[in-house]
Every structure is written in C-alpha cells, then in structure tokens.
Structure 1
Amino acid sequence: MTWRGPTYRMVDGERIGGAWCHVWRRYRPDGEYYLDDLVVFADGAISCGEGTDLAGLAELLATGWLAATDPEAPPLPDEPSKWASRCGEPLTPEGFLLEVADRIEELNERPTAGQRCWDAIRRFQREPDESNRALLRAAYLSVPPHLRIYVLGDMDRQDRPLRILLTNVGEAVGGDGPVVTAEMHQGVLDYFGRGDEGVESEQEQRAVRHSDDPSEPGRPALVSHETVYPQGWPEQPGLFMLRNDFPARIVFAGESYASVLHGYWALSAADASDRGRIRDAASGREAHDLGGRAAHRSDWPDVRLAVMAGLVRAKFTQHPELAEVLVSTGDARISYTGLSDSPFWRDAPDARGRNWMGRLLELTRSELVARRLLRPEETPASGRR
C-alpha cells in the first residue's frame, strides 16, 4: 500500500492535513470493483466517495463495499516456509485498518506503531527482563502484520531478529524456524547494540560534516511578490526594492542602466540598435518587452546568469539604502515570484521554477554582510564610504 500526500481539507477556516491511497470500491451490491482514492485526515475523518471514520471504514471493508487489495487478483501461493520467506504477511482488512490508524497518528505527529516498537526495543535493551519482553511483544504485534518485516529497516534480516528475541528458548521461531537458544537471544541484543553504535558514529560524522550549519532555525521564507504601480513607485516601497524593475540606476560594464531589468535585456540583445532602445526604455517593463522581442546573443544562455549576478551586485553596492533593505532580511530564504519572469528566474510551484533571482539576492546579501565584517569603515552607519 503506497500512501501519497500531502493533501488537506478546510474546516471552519482550519487546515486539516491528510494523505491518500488507492482502494477498490464498488457502487452497488455484487457490482464490479473500481480503483478509487481513500483520503485520511488528521482529525480521523476518512473520505472515499462519502465521509466516514475508522469504525465506518471497518464496516465498509467487512461488507465488501471497499477492498484493500484487488479482489480479482489471484491469491498468492502459500510459502513453503514462514521462516525462510522474504515476503510479509498478506494485506488483510484488519491490517489495513491498523495502517490507516497509524497514518492518522503520523498526521498528528504522534508515534506510530513502528516507532512505539522501537521504543520498546530500547526499553528492553536497557532492562532485558521478561516484563519488558512482554511489552516488546505487544508493541511488535501492534504493527500491521504486512508491515512487520520493515519495522527494523533491515533489508537483509527483515524482522527476524525480533522474531528470535520474542520466541522462548527451546522453541522454534514461527514453528518452522531455528530452535532458539540463550546465545541467539544475546546475539540479537548484540545486533541492536551494533546498530546503535553505527547510528552514533553516523551522527558524529554528520555533526563534523555539517558543523557549519546554523545552530538556530532561520527566518521564515521571504516571498518577493511582483507588483505594479501605475502612478509611480511609493516613497517607501520597502521590500519591493528587491525587484529587478525597481528604478535604481546602475553602472555595469561601462554602461548606465535605469534598472537591473534594463541592463539585463539590453545586454541580451545581439544588435547594437536594439541594445540602445532597450537601455533607454521608459520603464523596466517596457525594457523587458523590447528585449523579449529582440534577437538574443548566441551565447546568452551561457552567460545570462553571470550577467544577472553582476547587475544585482552593482545595484546593491552602488545604492547603500537598497543594501540596507536586503541585509535586513537576515538569513531568510528569498522566494522570487511573479509571472513576468521565466521560471528560470522565479520560484514557480512546479519543477520548472529555479528561483535563480532569489538565490542571487541571497548570495549578494551574504557578500554585503561579509564586506561589512571585513571592512566596517564602509558601512553607512559609520558615516564614511
């Protein structure tokens, strides 16, 4: 069973998170089954053509209105040996109900049956007595049967170490497995111990490799919205100063441009006359339109990112008041949105969105901060430049 998400529904203005999977449903008694979506929400509501809950889902499964597996699929052959089998238990309605209940716990950020099983393993490691082994057995059996082979995350041994540990000494695991000895129980404890050592070692290595990560959470993402001011920019445009069409005259590569957008599209043009018309356009938007219609330089796809980086750097180094606005965003991720720019530059809600403008703004911000740290006499607050 594969779960997908996220999804949600709104209840009284509150967003309720959810996830969904496929089930088989029929619309009339003794009718054919059709593939449908079963959606589970954090508040316990379940939707599959109609609203219900866990108890209602149990009834739908019991009466045959819903099925967790394809009813027309041929039954799987019996495994010759339960111990030697590499397959999990078959998915049953009861197991599916347990899995749905687990998904609700996960949506509420509460421990799932698998996580509770690991908690019981840790408890048994600390105190390997019979009472804790009984608790571990109960935790293991609460995992949906078809998912138990995955509970340890071990593709080779699957859940066999747990099955050994939960079998009494002198008994065969599952009836057809090896007869358990005290040494085998100790071997399982050693197995878990080696796993813990491996996890600790990996955590130590990660701490070393990621030692430059910020120790505190960063600021929430900052979204730079595209905007239009038909009557001219306001006296205090605030974060709209970050936009490429904001009028801030810059000098770049020996030419003067009224905005980053003027410079970018002028430099993209193959013909000198087009470059002049774009450079002298009345607004950034007009420069964009003219540049989009002009023939581009043949090397433009290869150099456009470097050109834009240089223009953005010129804008904020040549205008200290704009640099103050950019630096004030701290370490927030900058999402540069809109519709006018191509997905290469903006943060689009699909795989096409590269958000290169947001990245260049973040890079320039970092350069400005580093420059102030290395050359504090150049900061505007010092009164000297």
Structure 2
Amino acid sequence: MGWRGPTYRTVDGERIDGAWCHVWWRNHHDDQYFLDDLVVFADGLISGRERTDLAGLKGLLASGRLSPTDPGMPDPSPPPSKWRSRSGGPLTPEGFLLDVADKVAELGGRPTAAQRCWEAIRCFQQDPSAAHRALLRRAYVAIPPHQRIYVLGDMDLQDRPLRILVTDVGDAVDGDGPVVTEQMHREALEYFDRTDAAVACEAEHRAVHHADDPTEPVPATAFTSYETVYPKGWPDTLGPYVLRNAYPAPVVFGGRTYPSVLHAYWALSAADPADHDRIRDAEEGRAAQELGGRVARRADWHRMRVAVMGALLEAKFTQHPELAQVLLATGDSVIGYTGCTDSPFWRDVPDQRGRNWMGRLLELTRAKLAAGPLLPD
C-alpha cells in the first residue's frame, strides 16, 4: 500500500488535512471484493464506503468487510529466514491499523511510531538499562511490521542494529538469527554513535556551505504577470502590465534604440542586418515578434538568448526608474510570466513544457535593482 495526497475537508471553515490509499471492500450482495479509496483525516475521521474512526476500522478489518490487500491473491510465502530476509513484514490487518493510526498522527502534527522509536533509541543511548531496553522494545514493536525495515533509513543494514538491541542476551534475533551477546549489544550501540557523528558532521558541513541562506523563511507568495490586450492603447497610469516585454518603453542597447524589449530581442536574433532593422522599426511589439519569427536566426542565438534577454530587462528597468518601482513592488514574490504568444521556454505553463525564464529573469533584475550599486564609484 502507499499513501497518496494531499486532500482535505472543511469543518466550520477550518481545513482538516487528509490522505488516502486503496483498500478492498466486500460487497453486501455477493460477498465479492472491489477496489476503492479509504481517506483518513487529521482529526481521526476515516471515510470510505462508511464513515468511521480507528475503533470502527478495527471492527471492519476483523469482520472482513474491508481488507488492505486483494483477498483474491494468495498469501505470500514466508521467507526461509526472517533474519536474512531483505523484505519488510507482510501487510496484515493489524499492521494496516497501526499504519492508519500513524498517518492520523502525522496529519495532526503528532509523533509517529517511528519518531517515538527514535526517542526511545536516544534514551537507551544515554542509559542502556534493562528498563530502557524494554521501553525501546515496546516502541519498536509499535511500528507497523511492514514499515520496520525503513525506520533507520539504512539501505544496507535496514533495521538489524535495532533488532539486535531489543533482543536480550542469550536469545536468537527473530528466532532464527544469531544469538545475541554483550559484544553485539555494544556494536549495535556503536552503530548509533557513528550515525550520530556522521549526521552532526553533515550538519556542520551544511551550515558552512549554506551559510548565506536566509535566516527567516521566505514568504511563499506569488505574482503572475498576465498577457493583456488594450485595443485603445496602453493605460496612462502605470501598473503590472509594464513588466510585459511588449510594453512600449524605449530601450537603448548596444548603441541603438529599440521601441520595446520585444523589438530588441527579436531584432537582435536576426542573422541579416536588414531584417534587424525591419524588426526594430515594426509598429508595435507583437508585430516585431511576428516578423522576427519568420526570418533567419543567428546560428548561436540559442546560446545567447537568455543572457540577451536578461541584459535587455536590466536596461529597461534601469533606464526607466518609474517602471523599476513597479517591479520592486512585487517584493520577494515568485514571478510567473504567463501568456499565449510567447514560447513555453519563456512563460509559465502548467505542464513540463513551461520553463518560466521570463519570470526568473524578472526576479533576477528585481534583485539587482534592490541591491543597487555593488561597487563604490
């Protein structure tokens, strides 16, 4: 099984987060099972063919009304050796109930069984007493059996060091594994000490390498630049539309003046100087784009275009301080540049084609404007 999401429901105006998975329900009429969804929420409500809670789900599982696995499939064969097995335990109704309880706790911001097990590991590291070993054993057993091999996040050893620690000296791990000795207990504890040291070392490296990260969370705000049409001409008052490349703000670039960024971009892409001049002299930006798309392009344009567009935007907003204020007013927002006429390379398209390079370059230009001169005169 696998949890999917996010989903939610609203209660008295409050959002209650949820997640869902596939289960098999038994039909009342013919006792046949069919696949359907089971949705669980942070407040403990469980919704599917019936609305219930954890206690009700336990009853549904015990009665066979609901199954976490396909009842038509044969039961998996047990591994020859539980100790040597590389697979987690089978998904059972009891394990599924533990998994649902874990998901409810996670959605509600409470510790899961795996997190409680790690707390017990820390206690045992500080004081490896019999009482703390018993506490660790209970915490480990509370993890859904099919999830236990993942609790340490170790692809090689899986949960074996933990299974050794929760087994008393003189007993065989898993019943068919090695007989635990004091030396094995010490080595298992050393495993966790090494892991802690490695994590601390990585945290130190990350703190050094990421020393310039913002100390405060970056606001998850967004600003979208929409393509708009003004049949009677552009408005007199400045607004977000001035961020568009077609906006008629003359740009001086390379010793030449272009009526807009769009004129400049498409003119500079032309291989023939005569085409350059025709595009530059087009009546408006979209006409320049139409002309530019029909002429031969410079052979190296695909390597230059992002740098050229970035330089044109910087020229536009530094040469027109009143437009720069509109861009700066977007604050720290992520900028999405949408529209219909620009290619997905430049605009924000809600699929894998959209690269949103215009939005990114506008953010970079905004950062440069906000920083001001970086070197003294």
Distance in 2, matches of 1:172 and 1:236, equals 81
Letter in 2 for 1:153: G
Distance in 2, matches of 1:309 and 1:184, equals 61
How far apart are 1:68 and its partner, in Å? 1.1
- For 1:285-324, what aligned pairs fall within 5 Å after superposition? 285=286, 287-288=288-289, 290-291=290-291, 294-295=294-295, 297=297, 299=299, 300-324=301-325
- For 1:256-267, what aligned pairs fall within 5 Å after superposition? 256-267=257-268
- For 1:277-292, what aligned pairs fall within 5 Å after superposition? 278-285=279-286, 287-288=288-289, 290-291=290-291
- In the other structure, the counterpart of 1:133 is 133
Letter in 2 for 1:372: P
Q: 1:80 to 1:229 in 2, by over 3 A?
A: closer
Decide whether the 8 Å contact of 1:41 with 1:104 is kept in 2.
yes
Deviation readout 1:288-311 (Å, 9 max, x if unpaired)? 5x3486345264544432332222
How far apart are 1:341 and its partner, in Å? 3.0
Deviation readout 1:242-261 (Å, 9 max, x if unpaired)? 23233311123444333222
How far apart are 1:193 and its partner, in Å? 0.5
Distance in 2, matches of 1:95 and 1:271, equals 71
Distance in 1, matches of 2:344 and 2:85, equals 50
- In the other structure, the counterpart of 2:118 is 118
- In the other structure, the counterpart of 1:380 is none
- In the other structure, the counterpart of 2:242 is 241
Distance in 2, matches of 1:31 and 1:266, equals 72
Normalised by the size of structure 1, how large is the TM-score?
A: 0.85
Distance in 1, matches of 2:97 and 2:81, equals 27
How far apart are 1:55 and its partner, in Å? 3.4
- In the other structure, the counterpart of 1:71 is 71
- For 1:150-299, what aligned pairs fall within 5 Å after superposition? 150-228=150-228, 230=230, 231-268=232-269, 278-285=279-286, 287-288=288-289, 290-291=290-291, 294-295=294-295, 297=297, 299=299
How far apart are 1:50 and its partner, in Å? 5.0
How far apart are 1:262 and its partner, in Å? 3.0
Q: 1:104 to 1:240 in 2, by over 3 A?
A: farther
Letter in 2 for 1:258: P
Q: Which runs of 5+ in 1 are unaligned?
A: 378-385
Distance in 1, matches of 2:15 and 2:294, equals 47
Letter in 2 for 1:182: E
How far apart are 1:352 and its partner, in Å? 1.9
Letter in 1 for 2:108: N
Paired residues, number: 375
- For 1:361-372, what aligned pairs fall within 5 Å after superposition? 361-372=362-373
Which SS does the other structure have where 2:374 is aligned? helix
Which SS does the other structure have where 1:373 is aligned? coil
Deviation readout 1:14-64 (Å, 9 max, x if unpaired)? 443332322233444444433333333333333335544333433333333
- For 1:96-111, what aligned pairs fall within 5 Å after superposition? 96-111=96-111
How far apart are 1:122 and its partner, in Å? 0.8
Decide whether the 8 Å contact of 2:68 with 2:96 is kept in 1.
yes
How far apart are 1:326 and its partner, in Å? 3.1
How far apart are 1:95 and its partner, in Å? 0.8
Letter in 1 for 2:354: G
Distance in 1, matches of 2:161 and 2:146, equals 17
Letter in 2 for 1:133: R
Distance in 2, matches of 1:5 and 1:179, equals 43
Q: 1:55 to 1:356 in 2, by over 3 A?
A: same
Decide whether the 8 Å contact of 2:228 with 2:241 is kept in 1.
no
Which SS does the other structure have where 1:24 is aligned? strand
Decide whether the 8 Å contact of 1:269 with 1:295 is kept in 2.
yes
Distance in 2, matches of 1:120 and 1:291, equals 70
How far apart are 1:143 and its partner, in Å? 0.7
Letter in 1 for 2:48: C
Distance in 1, matches of 2:67 and 2:20, equals 15
Distance in 2, matches of 1:340 and 1:66, equals 52
- In the other structure, the counterpart of 1:357 is 358
- In the other structure, the counterpart of 1:80 is 80
Decide whether the 8 Å contact of 2:4 with 2:21 is kept in 1.
yes
Q: 1:234 to 1:120 in 2, by over 3 A?
A: farther
Decide whether the 8 Å contact of 2:224 with 2:335 is kept in 1.
yes
Decide whether the 8 Å contact of 1:244 with 1:261 is kept in 2.
yes
Distance in 1, matches of 2:87 and 2:239, equals 60
Q: 1:323 to 1:37 in 2, by over 3 A?
A: same
Distance in 2, matches of 1:141 and 1:35, equals 29
Q: 1:29 to 1:274 in 2, by over 3 A?
A: farther
Please provide the CA RMSD for this pair.
Answer: 2.9
How far apart are 1:89 and its partner, in Å? 1.6
Decide whether the 8 Å contact of 1:25 with 1:34 is kept in 2.
yes
Distance in 1, matches of 2:146 and 2:174, equals 16
Distance in 2, matches of 1:129 and 1:87, equals 30
More divergent stretch after superposition (272-281 vs 171-180): 272-281
More divergent stretch after superposition (98-107 vs 271-280): 271-280
Decide whether the 8 Å contact of 1:221 with 1:335 is kept in 2.
no
- In the other structure, the counterpart of 1:47 is 47
Decide whether the 8 Å contact of 2:46 with 2:52 is kept in 1.
yes
Decide whether the 8 Å contact of 2:270 with 2:298 is kept in 1.
no
Normalised by the size of structure 2, how large is the TM-score?
A: 0.86
